[in-house]
Amino acid sequence: MASGKKNNKDESKVKTEEKTEEKTEEKTIEKIFIGVDFGTSKIAMTTSSGKSILEQNVVGYPKDAISSKFLKKEVLYGAEALKHRVALNIHRPIECGVLKTNKEDLDAAKGLLEYCLNSLNLPDDAETYAILGVPAKASVLSKKILTEMTKDFFTGVMVASDPFCVAYELGLLENVMVVDIGAGTTDICRVRGTLPEPEDMTSFGKAGDYIDDSLIKSITSDYTSAMVTKEMAKRWKEEYGFVGEPSKDCEVDVPVDSSTIKLSIVQELKDACESIVPPIIEGITSLIATYDPDFREELRNNIIVSGGGSLIKNIDEFIEEELSIVGGGKVTVIKEDPFTAGSKGALKLAIDMPDDYWKKLI
């Protein structure tokens, strides 16, 4: 009897082990889709698992042994790097929307990407499929460099036009034009129900950084002893930036020699912000002129402004006024968060991409 009980126990143990093995075999690997907007100023990531991150696209390395000991880190990323920038050698790996190709910046970009992915706390055994938003006219070479740099982090990776990703997020996929004003580039894309071709897009370097540089140049030319940093100009632009008629005074504290004076920068800010509008009008009219004549009117009346530049006050009305001289148009500003709309659209596109497309990349 005792022997029979033992055999029953052994059989039960074997069956339990077999069931465990079956469950292990049945376990499916989790697939996570990721939308990435690797912009000049910020990097945004949005995942199908409901996680997201928005970080400054900046990497800093301690200048010497003292700063290393003080900071207790060998590398700092994003907002933390900006906070301690006086003690760091700062790297901005993206310039005019394009990844720099020198080793230092490539290493910085890889580190920042890894830092952001680690911050998302994704499962180690998950398969990750990412679509990266790139400038509308990014070259084949720059796309290749970006995908090569990122392929070690993802199971599969593709690139897509930033403004198209915005349109995809909004669900506006036919006879729509997106004007995406970023930090490094302004990208314009007409969307006609398919993935955009090169002739559907245009891109140029007059964007947020150009406004900052113009503002610095204008203030320092009027006040030769003034010391205006890039971060100051960016902060003033984000707080007060406008085109057309100002809604309030723009008075800021400007360092001059060893003191600080209060200055009204209304005219300087107006001129700097409006300086990016002429190429936008030229890009819009060019893409309208080369569109199917039967759908030009619809395209003209469906212009969306996105990106950080969409936060410039009166930008939609000002572009409309300028377009009235060349046939008119209807312009609206994106209601989504302008800094995450691209990554959300890239995620949506990644999820909707057929499996066969991904399998070709593995």
Domain boundaries, the chain: 31-169+339-359, 208-274
**Fold entry, domain 31-169+339-359:** Nucleotidyltransferase; domain 5 (3.30.420)
Instruction: For residues 267 and 177, give the distance between their C-alpha atoms in angstroms, rounded to a whole number.
Output: 30
For residue 249, the one-letter residue type is D
Instruction: For residues 49 and 35, give the distance between their C-alpha atoms in angstroms, rounded to a whole number.
Output: 11
Paired strand residues for 189: 178, 201
168 in Cβ contact with 149 (< 8 Å): no
Q: What is the model's pLDDT at position 225?
A: 87
Q: What is the pLDDT along the chain (362 residues), one digit of tens a residue?
A: 444 444 555 555 555 555 555 554 556 778 999 999 988 999 999 999 999 999 999 999 999 999 999 999 999 999 999 999 999 999 999 888 888 889 999 999 999 999 999 999 999 889 999 999 988 888 888 888 888 888 889 999 999 999 999 999 999 999 999 999 999 999 999 999 998 999 999 999 999 999 999 999 999 998 888 899 999 999 999 999 999 998 788 999 999 888 899 999 999 999 999 999 999 999 999 999 999 999 999 999 999 999 999 999 999 999 999 999 989 999 999 988 899 999 999 999 999 998 888 866 55
User: Rounded mean pLDDT of the chain?
Assistant: 90
Q: How far apart are the first and last CA of the chain?
A: 58
Radius of gyration of the chain (CA): 25
Q: What is the model's pLDDT at position 362?
A: 53
Helix, strand, coil percentages in the chain from 3-state DSSP, rounded to 5:
45, 25, 30
Q: What is the model's pLDDT at position 1?
A: 40
Instruction: For residues 194 and 179, give the distance between their C-alpha atoms in angstroms, rounded to a whole number.
Output: 18
Instruction: For residues 194 and 291, give the distance between their C-alpha atoms in angstroms, rounded to a whole number.
Output: 14
Does the 208-274 domain belong in CATH 3.30.420.40? yes
**DSSP-derived 3-state class of residue 19:** helix
**Pairing relationship of beta strands 303-306 and 331-333 according to DSSP bridges:** parallel
**Pairing relationship of beta strands 76-77 and 59-62 according to DSSP bridges:** antiparallel
What residues contact 39, with CB distance under 8 A and at least 6 apart? 57, 94, 97, 133, 162, 182, 183, 184, 342
Q: What is the model's pLDDT at position 20?
A: 53
Q: What is the model's pLDDT at position 82?
A: 94
From residue 320, give the alpha-carbon distance in Å to each of 207, 244, 275, 314.
18, 11, 16, 10
Topology alike, domains 31-169+339-359 and 208-274: yes
Question: What is the value of pTM for the model shown?
Answer: 0.87
Q: What is the model's pLDDT at position 335?
A: 85
